[in-house]
């Protein structure tokens, strides 16, 4: 097998080709350009219909400036990456921040990054770590800007890491891949470098490639906690879910970190995804025994109780989550999930009243992430398609221009989801002109943003339109671009059935089974068949 560094060259070369070709009608390129990563590990899921383009591996560079330049500091991140700070404490706090980030402990990641900056206000990596960790909460655009401005003061390898972090925050694909490519050349056996790539691939919905990278990390260190955690999710999210491996990996994660709430929280979530609700409750409760304020386990108990039909307990658990929430987004999310309980118990009118009230409150508070979650869910759960389309038009107008507190990346992604949903509804109603207009709008947005997740929404929206027009073979190829949307996957399964590919349809529905959560899409999928 070629070295990871050699294989990584394929990433950049493939993406360059994508950018040269543009995003129009390129399902085989845009979201799934990541299939070009590590070709010797390539293994497409059963439902994928097209093969990735052949891309030659780029020749290795003759020079490596990062290797020739003497570091300006003796401080080394994780014992190997030279960094620019002269403060040992600042370096340690960044290490702690990244370790907490790897373990999905957002608040601790944020607080340690802030401590690093306090110890050294000129430490660019401290600001980059803060910007990266803030993506799990409220994005810190000031820290992102400061990291960029301080970049020239850093060591060569530190620059690679900062460029990767800031590009991730911006979702600027080419520099992110370029920086990661160079990092892999420099540190092919560094588990932290390999892990953050796997984590990034996972966030880009390339679950199979993420799993393969995580298994490489696992070979380097069988007890590396972040890899054990993310492997648990990757084994569930891949094209061929393996719940036994997922649970086994997370059980080992809990053994390695017995005093952390996150392993128990992860087990609670994955067991619920797997259909073991009682086990889910037990592990969420175990997480709260370790940390009573662990917010995701608080509302996780509400989520599992909802799916069990125990609505009284669900509301009580959401109330507890609301009480311990320490930021507007967590509080709003718990309130949103509590409002959805009305729908699950068969009271949609009361549910819409609750969502209307939350929507008004979110607009008054001007917390954009809450506004979008509530507004988008409210639209999808509207009483009839005409009302939904009207509410989607309002969201589209709101997202047309910059929104205070909402990053441009998240604004683009949110707008793409709105346009994809409008395409789905209008295509289902036979309003093909409106569907085509939405797809064109999405195509333009994907071209401007160069964001793979936006491109996924564009492709899957185009799949809805093609299916409505009867072009089923091409619809399958487009719909396969988005492996996270339940409604897209169900449309993909139905389309596979129509073209006579029953095994592929069965594989997709098996995958859907392991995305079980009390979300708006799961509700529409499981209780209102007409919605899809």
Quote the crossing angle between the two packed helices 295-308 and 311-324, to the nearest 10°: 170
**Dihedrals phi, psi of 16, to nearest 5 degrees:** -60, -40
Which of the two residues, 213 and 38, has the higher pLDDT score?
213
**Residue 41 pLDDT > 80, yes or no?**
no
* Residue 460 half-sphere exposure toward CB, CA atoms < 13 A: 30
**Residue 51 pLDDT > 90, yes or no?**
no
Q: Which fold has domain 71-188?
A: 1.25.40
**Dihedrals phi, psi of 305, to nearest 5 degrees:** -60, -35
Alpha-carbon Rg for the chain in angstroms: 23
Query: Is-contact 13 462, C-beta < 8 A?
Result: no
Strand partners, 82: 76
**Dihedrals phi, psi of 505, to nearest 5 degrees:** -60, -40
Q: List, for residues 55-97, the tens digit of each pLDDT value.
A: 232 333 333 433 333 344 568 888 888 999 999 999 999 999 9
Q: List, for residues 405-428, the tens digit of each pLDDT value.
A: 887 888 999 999 999 999 999 999
Q: How many residues does the chain have?
A: 532
Q: What single DSSP character describes residue 38? A: S
Q: How far is CA 100 from CA 112, 129, 517, in A?
A: 9, 11, 26
Work out the burial of residue 99: count CB atoms within 10 Å of its CB; fewer than 13 is exposed, 13-18 middle, 19 or more buried.
middle
Name the residue ranges covered by the structural domains of the chain.
71-188
pLDDT at 168: 81
Q: Which two tokens stand for residue 472?
A: 């089923």
Rounded mean pLDDT of 384-393? 96
Rounded mean pLDDT of 212-221? 93
**Residue 290 pLDDT > 80, yes or no?**
yes
Which of the two residues, 474 and 140, has the higher pLDDT score?
474
What's the predicted TM-score (pTM) here? 0.80
- Cα gap 201→176, rounded to integer Å: 11
Q: How far is CA 189 from CA 185, 281, 298, 458, in A?
A: 10, 38, 37, 37
User: Percentage of the chain surpassing pLDDT 70?
Assistant: 85
- For the chain, the distance separating the N- and C-terminal CA atoms, rounded to the nearest angstrom, is 44
Dihedral angle computed from the Cα positions of residues 171, 172, 173 and 179, in that order, rounded to the nearest 10 degrees? -110
């Amino acid at each position: 097998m070629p070295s990871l560094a050699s294989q990584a060259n394929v990433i950049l070369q493939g993406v360059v080709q994508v950018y040269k070709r543009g995003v129009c009608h390129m399902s085989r390129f845009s979201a799934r350009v990541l299939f070009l990563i590590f070709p010797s590990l390539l293994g497409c899921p059963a439902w994928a219909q097209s093969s990735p383009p052949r891309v030659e591996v780029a020749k290795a560079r003759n020079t490596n400036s990062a290797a020739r330049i003497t570091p300006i500091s003796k401080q080394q991140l994780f014992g190997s990456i030279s960094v620019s700070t002269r403060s040992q404490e600042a370096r340690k706090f960044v290490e702690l921040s990244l370790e907490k980030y790897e373990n999905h402990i957002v608040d601790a990641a944020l607080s340690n990054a802030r401590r690093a900056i306090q110890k050294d206000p000129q430490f660019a990596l401290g600001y980059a770590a803060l910007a990266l960790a803030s993506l799990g909460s409220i994005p810190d655009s000031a820290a992102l800007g400061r990291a960029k401005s301080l970049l020239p003061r850093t060591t060569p390898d530190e620059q690679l890491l900062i460029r990767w972090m800031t590009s991730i925050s911006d979702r600027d694909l080419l520099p992110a891949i370029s920086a990661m490519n160079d990092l892999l050349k420099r540190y092919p056996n560094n588990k932290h470098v390999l892990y953050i790539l796997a984590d990034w691939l996972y966030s880009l919905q390339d679950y199979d490639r993420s799993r393969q990278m995580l298994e490489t990390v696992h070979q380097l260190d069988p007890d590396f906690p972040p890899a054990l955690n993310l492997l648990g999710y990757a084994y569930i999210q891949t094209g061929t879910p393996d719940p036994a491996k997922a649970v086994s990996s997370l059980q080992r994660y809990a053994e390695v970190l017995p005093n952390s709430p996150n392993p128990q929280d992860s087990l609670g979530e994955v067991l619920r995804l797997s259909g073991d609700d009682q086990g889910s409750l037990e592990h969420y409760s175990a997480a709260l025994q370790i940390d009573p304020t662990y917010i995701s386990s608080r509302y996780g108990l509400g989520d599992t109780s909802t799916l069990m039909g125990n609505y009284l307990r669900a509301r009580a658990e959401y109330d507890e989550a609301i009480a311990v929430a320490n930021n507007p987004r967590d509080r709003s999310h718990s309130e949103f999930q509590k409002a959805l309980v009305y729908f699950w118990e068969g009271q949609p009118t009361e549910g819409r009243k609750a969502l209307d009230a939350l929507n008004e409150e979110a607009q008054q508070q001007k917390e954009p992430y809450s506004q979008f979650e509530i507004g988008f869910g409210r639209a999808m759960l509207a009483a009839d398609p005409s009302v939904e389309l009207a509410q989607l038009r309002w969201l589209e107008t709101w997202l047309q221009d910059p929104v205070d507190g909402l990053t441009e990346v998240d604004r683009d992604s949110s707008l793409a989801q709105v346009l994809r949903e409008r395409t789905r509804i209008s295509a289902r109603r036979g309003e093909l002109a409106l569907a085509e207009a939405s797809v064109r709008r999405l195509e333009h947005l994907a071209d401007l943003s160069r964001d793979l997740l936006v491109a996924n929404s564009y492709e899957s929206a185009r799949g809805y339109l093609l299916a409505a027009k009867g072009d089923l073979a091409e619809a399958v190829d487009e719909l396969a671009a988005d492996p996270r949307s339940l409604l897209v996957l169900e449309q993909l399964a139905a389309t596979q059935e129509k073209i006579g590919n029953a095994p592929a349809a069965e594989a997709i529905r098996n995958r859907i089974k392991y995305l079980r959560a009390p979300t708006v899409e799961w509700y529409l999928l499981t209780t209102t068949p007409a919605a899809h």
